[in-house]
Amino acid sequence: MAEDDEAKCSADVAEGSYFMAGVLAILGLMAAVLVLSGLFHSVLRRVGQPSIISHILAGVVVGPTVLGRMVDLRQLGMKDAGRALGDAIYYLRVVFMFFIGLEMDLRYLRRHLRASIIVAFGGSALCLVLATISGPFFYGLLHPGQRTFQPESLYASTALFMLVLTSTASPVLIRIVTELKITGSETGQLAIGTAFANDIASLAAISMMVVSPTTYDKDGKPLPPPNRLVALPVVKVIMFLWMAFNVWVSVRIMVWMTRLVNKTKQGKQYISKYELFAMLVLIVGLSQHVQLFGYSASMTAFIIGITTPREGPTARTLIDRLAYPVHSIIMPLCFSTIGARLDFAKINCFTPTQFLFVVTYTTLLSTIGRVVGTVVAGRMIGIPARETLVLGFLLNVKGYADILAINLGDSTGIWNGAAQGVLLLSSIITTFMAGPASAAIVRQQRSAFQYRSHCLQHLKLDQELRVLVCVHGAGSVHSMLTLAELSKGATPVAIYLLHLIELMSSRKYAITHFYHTGDGADEEDDDSGRWGYAPVIDQVVAAVNGFTNGTFIPVRQMTAISSLETMDADVCNGAEDARASLVVVPFHKEQRYDGRMVCRHDNRRELNQRILQRAPCTVGVLVERRLGTIAERQSTAAEGGPSRSADDPAGETHNVVAVFLGGPDDREAVAYATRLAAHPSVTVMVTRFLPAGASVHSSTEEEEAMADEEFMADFYARFVAPGHVSYTERYVSNGPELVESLCSMAGMYSLFVVGKGADGGSAAVTQMTSGMGGLYEECPELGHVGDLLSSDDLSGCCASVLVLRQHNVRQRMKQDPNGVDDGLR
């Protein structure tokens, strides 16, 4: 009776009687996946899980394992929820694969090419060895009770098993790296580059496997091909070359069309929505064209995405307009089909104990091979052990090439339902392990970073200086980057720029990528410009590009969008990720057209105070008065001056003075000035103030005074005696005399470098600053000297001022003896 009902239902489905019911069922499955995925991710993200785990678990729930037992989709002509979702989002999967290729920035691979290849080879090599050795054993575990095996199916299963173990899902890894906030660190960039290398190799192997693959029956015997000529090796090579030619033609068409649209839209930020729709139709059409010849449409879309030119409005529109729907809708649906295909009812050839053993065995093989191989390869090229552990767990994430391999094994009959269940569950577990393991190691690294000394005084001159400069807008980009460039001296400098954007409650989203164009903009572009942050971001990007094009100095850009109350945490995280020794923030006042300093954002002053207190390294506050434009131009060479330096494209000489009274902050200022002195376009003068009537070696009973004397003696021997830095001493008795002496220096220099100074310093410092408290107290966070030099009351001072506060590990430990700063929790 049941068979008659099913036959009648199938006939009705074939006639279209249940078409609308099927459509509603598919829409219901999609809605359930999106809702469940959001609910799962709201819980799992707290334990360091990427969003892909939530998507797969949502698919498990709507699949035959849970909801499939309550709702029988076969009555609507559907085998199960996994295949129903997969068929419904077929074209969306093509768009998703194209977007994955478009997002794959190969600059990460080029930047760390040697290290990425070595790490990828090390982890994959051990996985290949383990898969080769254990492949026959794994095949036997999947077929309990079977005594004889066909060699062809055994070899094919081992080859696919090797591909599953060695694969790395770069889209998943990028999500984890982004959520861990290590994209700006060397570890994060190396992980992305290595994942790209793994992906390219895995997808190349799959591309060759899908060319007229051999199919197998239930007993593992290869089925004869429909045409015997197809089985010939020469014919297979010809078919592969023919498909490669069609892929190449599709790629060239896409590249040509992209450049044509860019040319017609020259000067525009975006293409129109009709042109965007036409480009998507072209992508799907080209992918379907190649599939007619036997190649995967998804793989073709991925290759088209990789090769699409990134410059111009076309790629910008594709990335910005597709980012939200792909990550929020298409990606959950695509990955949910993985979980929806997991049916534990089909795993009937195992007992629960056997199934647990096979899953554990597969998971351990993948984890041990990847982690151990990555650690060994990383240590061979000098990567620290903890970083190699992070790389090992990150590169063990699955969910991309391995799924393609599992699908290939299913379609060719190499693996049955039990094998798919084992491999899918193992991939879910390995990905589930990667997030918390990597997060725990990264947290430990950040904790160790916070409680190590990161001050310029202890950094050797031949060591790389890592500088994080913070900007609120495009106006301060040039001065900040000029200061960072001058800091390099004779050694390399790694410059990171963090664009701080205040999160406004009136905006639609925290981050949008829509631009407002003045002329010829569409109505939707005007609305996007009003609501988005991208115009501000674009101005900063343009300013950075202008600087880098003129100086050829790479700048790594980051953007933080948050409220001012929590923005200091973003700065601290950025400093930790960049492993910066110096963070430079702009003064809350800006110079007006008449030269006076005005405050337009008073809440930024509180932000600077929190950064000064909580930053994990030395912090500098830059009071900018047109740094880089007020200095002497070396065009005076025509009057007998020195010729322009080849290392200074702007042709400017910067006269810098470092003021030293005493204390750790002033020592930091002098240490920074010595770095500036190594730059060919900078001349440095160090001026030390001493109490009148005291010699250089007085007050040795004080610990700080002894530290000052040792530091200055070393400084004099290394820099003053050889003639690298000029040095002078001035004697003052009190604060008013100090003010008078500083006023006499105004107008002589383009940059003052001073220390903030701590309350309750040495007796000499207290004597020299006594009486200044009632004169200048506008910005006490700058210290006595910094407050004076940044004030408009100091007549004739048109120099920029950099106020430094040295990173103090002992003070941080006193603030938080448990090892975690309250402000960073």
pLDDT tens digits, 602-619: 788 889 889 988 888 889
Nearest to 189 by CA among 538, 556, 464, 469: 556
**Residues contacting residue 644 through CB under 8 Å, at least 6 positions apart:** 634, 637, 651
Distance of alpha carbon 393 from alpha carbon 370, whole angstroms:
8
Q: What is the pLDDT of residue 307?
A: 87
Nearest to 295 by CA among 191, 206, 175: 206
pLDDT tens track for 637-692? 333 333 334 344 444 578 899 999 888 888 999 999 998 888 888 899 999 988 87
Q: Which helix (H) or strand (E) holds 653?
A: strand 652-660
Q: What is the pLDDT of residue 148?
A: 63
Distance of alpha carbon 287 from alpha carbon 273, whole angstroms:
21
Q: What is the pLDDT of residue 249?
A: 92
pLDDT tens track for 560-605? 888 888 888 888 888 877 778 899 999 888 877 766 777 777 788 8
pLDDT at 790 over 70: yes
pLDDT tens track for 390-448? 888 888 888 777 877 887 777 777 777 777 778 888 888 888 887 777 777 777 666 66
For 48, 179, 336, the CA distances from 44, given in Å and listed in that order, are 7, 12, 16
Phi, psi torsion values for 552, nearest 5 degrees = 60, 30
Residue, of 567 and 508, whose pLDDT is higher:
567
Residue, of 555 and 371, whose pLDDT is higher:
371
Q: What is the pLDDT of residue 490?
A: 66
- The letter for the amino acid at 190 is L
Phi, psi torsion values for 723, nearest 5 degrees = 90, 15
CA 606 to mean position of chain CA atoms: 28
- β-pairing verdict for 582-586 and 597-599: unpaired
Angle at CA 263, nearest 5°, toward 257 and 268?
115
Angle at CA 718, nearest 5°, toward 717 and 719?
105
Q: What is the pLDDT of residue 282?
A: 93
Q: What is the pLDDT of residue 231?
A: 61
Least confident of 141-145, 153-157, 371-375, 605-609: 141-145
pLDDT at 770 over 90: no
Q: Convert 103-163 into a string of H (helix), E (strand) and C (coil).
A: HCCCHHHHHCHHHHHHHHHHHHHHHHHHHHHHHHHHHHHHCCCCCCCCHHHHHHHHHHHHH
**Residues contacting residue 626 through CB under 8 Å, at least 6 positions apart:** 479, 591, 798, 800
Cβ atoms 361, 161 nearer than 8 A:
no
Average pLDDT over residues 360-384: 89
**What confidence category does residue 803 fall into, taking pLDDT thresholds of 50, 70 and 90?**
very high
Q: What is the pLDDT of residue 522?
A: 42
Average pLDDT over residues 337-344: 76
Angle between helices 297-307 and 90-103 (to 10 degrees): 30
Average pLDDT over residues 733-744: 85
**What confidence category does residue 326 fall into, taking pLDDT thresholds of 50, 70 and 90?**
confident
Residue, of 447 and 379, whose pLDDT is higher:
379
Q: What is the pLDDT of residue 147?
A: 57
Distance of alpha carbon 421 from alpha carbon 341, whole angstroms:
8
pLDDT tens track for 291-324? 887 677 887 888 898 888 877 888 888 888 888 8
- The letter for the amino acid at 47 is V
Distance of alpha carbon 146 from alpha carbon 140, whole angstroms:
8
Q: What is the pLDDT of residue 188?
A: 76
For 457, 662, 705, 706, 713, the CA distances from 700, given in Å and listed in that order, are 21, 13, 6, 5, 13
**What confidence category does residue 91 fall into, taking pLDDT thresholds of 50, 70 and 90?**
confident
Q: What is the pLDDT of residue 706?
A: 82
Cβ atoms 575, 585 nearer than 8 A:
no
Phi, psi torsion values for 559, nearest 5 degrees = -130, 135
Q: What is the pLDDT of residue 697?
A: 45
**What confidence category does residue 531 fall into, taking pLDDT thresholds of 50, 70 and 90?**
very low
Backbone region of residue 167 per phi and psi (left: phi > 0; alpha: psi in -120 to 50; beta: other values): beta
Residue for token digits 């009274």?
Answer: 661
Angle at CA 100, nearest 5°, toward 99 and 105?
105
Q: What is the pLDDT of residue 684?
A: 92
- On the 0-12 / 13-18 / 19+ scale of CB atoms within 10 A, 723 is exposed
Q: What is the pLDDT of residue 448?
A: 61
Cβ atoms 100, 171 nearer than 8 A:
yes
The percentage of residues in the chain with a pLDDT greater than 90, rounded to a whole number, is 9
Backbone region of residue 532 per phi and psi (left: phi > 0; alpha: psi in -120 to 50; beta: other values): beta
- How much is the mean pLDDT over the chain? 76
pTM for this prediction: 0.64
Residue, of 78 and 621, whose pLDDT is higher:
621
Q: What is the pLDDT of residue 222?
A: 66
Q: Where are the alpha helices (DSSP H) in 347-384?
A: 352-380
Which residues sit opposite 754 in a β-bridge? 803
Distance of alpha carbon 754 from alpha carbon 580, whole angstroms:
20
Average pLDDT over residues 739-756: 86
Residue, of 260 and 150, whose pLDDT is higher:
260
Cβ atoms 172, 400 nearer than 8 A:
yes
Q: What is the pLDDT of residue 823?
A: 30
CA 100 to mean position of chain CA atoms: 16
CB atoms within 10 A of CB 182: 25
pLDDT tens track for 449-465? 555 556 777 777 777 78
Q: What is the pLDDT of residue 445?
A: 64
Average pLDDT over residues 255-274: 86
Q: What is the pLDDT of residue 635?
A: 35
- On the 0-12 / 13-18 / 19+ scale of CB atoms within 10 A, 342 is buried
Q: What is the pLDDT of residue 814?
A: 47
Cβ atoms 471, 477 nearer than 8 A:
yes
Phi, psi torsion values for 379, nearest 5 degrees = -65, -30
Nearest to 631 by CA among 651, 607, 602, 605: 651
Q: What is the pLDDT of residue 469?
A: 92
